[in-house]
Amino acid sequence: MRAAELFVRCLENEGVEYIFGIPGEENLDLMDALIDSPIHFITVRHEQGAAFMADVYGRLTGRPGVCLGTLGPGATNLITGVADANLDRAPVVAIAGQGSTHRLHKESHQIVDLVNLFAPISKYATSVREPEVIPEVVRKAFKEATLEKPGASFIELPENIAAAEVAELAPLRVQNPRTPWPPEDRLAEAAALIAQAERPMVLAGNGVIRAQAAAALDAFAATLNIPVAKTFMAKGVIPRDHPLSLGTAGLSGNDLIACGFERADLVICVGYDMVEYHPERWHRNPEQPVIHIGQQPAEVDAHYPVAVGVVGDLNAALHGLIRRLTARPENWASGLNQAIQQENREYAEDNGFPLKPQKILWDLRQVLAPEDILISDVGAHKMWIARMWQAQAPNTCLISNGFAAMGIGVPGALAAKLVHPERRVLTITGDAGFLMNSQELETALRLGLAFVVLIWNDSAYGLIKWHQDKRFGRETEIRFNNPDFVQYAESFGARGYRVESAAQLIPVLDEALHCGTVAVIDCPVDYAQNMQLTERLAALQCPV
């Protein structure tokens, strides 16, 4: 058999459903081998879109998403999405064709050192130099991608290796180590520290979702009456309207959630990754003890001094603590919870136009079901979503935050709909982020998928304007012009809608979500709210 056929058999052995990518000259043999495979190759319009699709697939399923490019520019176009997956802890295996090994030692057309390019943004990067090692390379790539903390693997497959004949070899058996049980002595130490605290709180991170430990966290909080804050990437680990929810941590300035951190006398970090929200921003009191509960030891950082580290299975750790502790008589942060809930409702009846971010998110929550999926692109809208979107379940609000890469919205929505065809999927994107990968509308329509793209239109790089206004009181070089987004969508064969009043938003959303195809909604947004929020938070008086 050809080495490419062996490679595809190994991918099948790993349970690969989809490969997102673009055919090229140097991956011809691999593409030909896929013809007889049950793996569905999805031809995209840009390799960055392919990597983002693999990224979101990995986050939603816990299994590696796979993307493919050819050598040179095809491979380098994968880099942004691969880096995003690696920092957002999404399992991804990226594959790239390469020129023949006979010319890799010298200056040659389209040849760059791909392994060294991908090594800093992946957990494992290698080149296949002998056909016989393919089963080991593929197995290791998938194993590394899924081990805690998950991330990206990269495989370079030179064209002459892919075309070479190889003996009949079998893929290696899929084996992944089990997460160890947390040590009893550490559980006892953590329980003692929690019992002594008068105002403990939890900071839950994306690791809770990866470990499928949301139910255990909910039980821990409810049984012991301990309030819970979430990072951007942990939205939904307990419902936003839960009486113990303290909202989302992640803004750099003062906020209601900052009041919780200031008042707490113990922070219990569960599944928390430092890349999500640096402790320098929330751990400002060096005397405030921190308990680290994770499936890996804590990262070393001067602002993250761990009093007790509990390393092991999160579900086992949380239930182990429940057994050792008794419930507190009351939720010390109930006033903070009420203030957050009140703020969420503040703009429910606002009829201003362009629409305020708070109003858009309130109306959208009325339309989407609890299990429907919101994909956030990156921009000013991301900060509003992270702060105010009331996620009701894990993995129903996906935010790129470790790498924070613009352009993930449309390809991310496509992948989410492939994973969950039974759910409604919507992406919120800015006008800038939308045009970075809007070409993937064609991919979605070709696949017969249906999801909604809600564009917050301000004809500017709104998040950068916000930062410029805060720091300098003036803006520079952030304005641009947009196409007619309705006509643009219709040129692809999608549905196009434009919101022209606050009263139109819910009817337009409802129609778009039920139209049975891809829909693009142009929604003007009032980003004057950005600086108003900054001023409001600067004057914030803590309710607890």
d(CA 242, CA 230): 12
Under the banding of pLDDT at 50, 70 and 90, the label for residue 422 is very high
Q: 309 and 287 in contact (C-beta within 8 Å)?
A: no
pLDDT at 79: 98
Average pLDDT over residues 128-142: 97
In this structure, what DSSP letter does residue 92 have?
Answer: E
Q: Which CATH number fits domain 184-336: 3.40.109.10, 3.40.50.1220, 2.30.30.30, 3.30.1490.100?
A: 3.40.50.1220
Average pLDDT over residues 443-448: 98
Sign of CA dihedral 257, 258, 264, 266: positive
pLDDT at residue 40 is higher than 70:
yes
CA angle in degrees (0–180, nearest 5) for 536-538-539: 70
pLDDT at 255: 82
- Counting Cβ atoms within 10 Å, is residue 109 exposed (0-12), middle (13-18) or buried (19+)? exposed
Average pLDDT over residues 163-179: 93
Strand partners, 126: 155
Under the banding of pLDDT at 50, 70 and 90, the label for residue 69 is very high
pLDDT at residue 251 is higher than 80:
no
Q: pLDDT exceeding 90 applies to what percent of the chain?
A: 85
Under the banding of pLDDT at 50, 70 and 90, the label for residue 540 is confident
Q: pLDDT exceeding 70 applies to what percent of the chain?
A: 99
* The CATH number of the domain covering residues in 346-536: 3.40.50.970
Mode of pairing for the β-strands spanning 266-270 and 200-204? parallel
pLDDT at 253: 66
d(CA 181, CA 323): 15
pLDDT at 502: 97
Q: 85 and 151 in contact (C-beta within 8 Å)?
A: yes
- 3-163 and 346-536 have identical folds: yes
pLDDT at 320: 97
pLDDT at 544: 63
Report CA-CA distances (Å) from 84 to 91, 265, 293, 390, 471. 11, 34, 24, 24, 27
Superfamily of domain covering 3-163: Thiamin diphosphate (ThDP)-binding fold, Pyr/PP domains (3.40.50.970)
pLDDT at residue 489 is higher than 90:
yes
pLDDT at residue 543 is higher than 80:
no
**SS3 category, 424:** coil
Under the banding of pLDDT at 50, 70 and 90, the label for residue 541 is confident
Lookup: tokens for 314: 């999160």
Strand partners, 456: 430, 523
pLDDT at residue 62 is higher than 80:
yes
Under the banding of pLDDT at 50, 70 and 90, the label for residue 533 is confident
The full 3-state SS of 520-534, as one line of letters, equals: EEEEEECCHHHHHHH
In this predicted model, which residue has the larger pLDDT, 4 or 537?
4
Annotate 495-518 with b (16+ C-beta within 10 A) or e (fewer).
bbbbbeebebbeebbeebbeeeeb
Domain ranges of the chain: 3-163, 184-336, 346-536
On average, the pLDDT of the chain sits at 95
Say if pTM beats, i.e. exceeds, 0.75.
Answer: yes
Radius of gyration, alpha carbons of the chain: 24
pLDDT at residue 311 is higher than 80:
yes
Average pLDDT over residues 464-488: 95
370-414 tens-digit pLDDT = 999 999 999 999 999 998 999 999 999 999 988 999 999 999 999
